[in-house]
Chains A and B, each alone.
Chain A
Amino acid sequence: DQQVKQNSPSLSVQEGRISILNCDYTNSMFDYFLWYKKYPAEGPTFLISISSIKDKNEDGRFTVFLNKSAKHLSLHIVPSQPGDSAVYFCAAPGSSNTGKLIFGQGTTLQVKP
């Protein structure tokens, strides 16, 4: 049972354009979401998060949007840069205060110069 799903395994965009990475979840009790970024041969690194009390969180070129009624979140990167090429994972805590994160499958983003 995949509680956090990223249905697009890959995405390719042109430098300077917007990248939109999508994530769906099934558990309406999830109250916090995170995005991680992973370069080849490295571990994932934290990128941005959002609490369910918000519908948007912005950090520089990165913005995460949350639609609770649709159980959907998205990560927008504007403008996209070649250095953004990586695998992006969305994640949600399995349950409150346990430390357990449930990750999606990941989406590989390629930003072409």
Chain B
Amino acid sequence: DAGVIQSPRHEVTEMGQEVTLRCKPISGHDYLFWYRQTMMRGLELLIYFNNNVPIDDSGMPEDRFSAKMPNASFSTLKIQPSEPRDSAVYFCASGPPGLAGNEQFFGPGTRLTVL
């Protein structure tokens, strides 16, 4: 079982550029979550999907952020244009149907640096 896969693991870009982060959830999981981790705010939920449908995007900081889940095995988080304050580690997590025990399974994260 491969677990949640995220790519790239590291991304360095310049301010104003578009950034796309990718996630492959665990097969059979129908929940997918995008989180951002910063020193100041800890782990923040940005958006989550259930059965490929966005359920709650209230954590998305602003219109520069967008997320899609075109199918059960792939999701993207896009930042356009990127800004230095977007620098953080972005995690994707997936959860099984019914979210038994509320447990979520996290990927290794993408460390984003915006110069």
Contact = CB atoms under 8 A, between A and B. Distances in A.
B31 A99 contact: yes
Counting contact residues on chain A (CB < 8 A from B), the size range is: 20 to 34
Counting contact residues on chain B (CB < 8 A from A), the size range is: 20 to 34
Contacts, number: 59
Contact of B106 (A43, A98, A100, A102): A43
A103 interface: yes
B42 A104 contact: yes
Contacts of A106: 42-43
Given A99-B48, A99-B50, A46 B43 contact: no
Contacts of A43: 4, 91, 93, 106-109
Interface in A30-56: 32, 34, 36, 41-46, 49
B12 interface: no
Interface string B80-101: 0000000000010101000101
Interface of B: 4, 31, 33, 35, 41-45, 48, 50, 55-56, 91, 93, 95, 99, 101-109
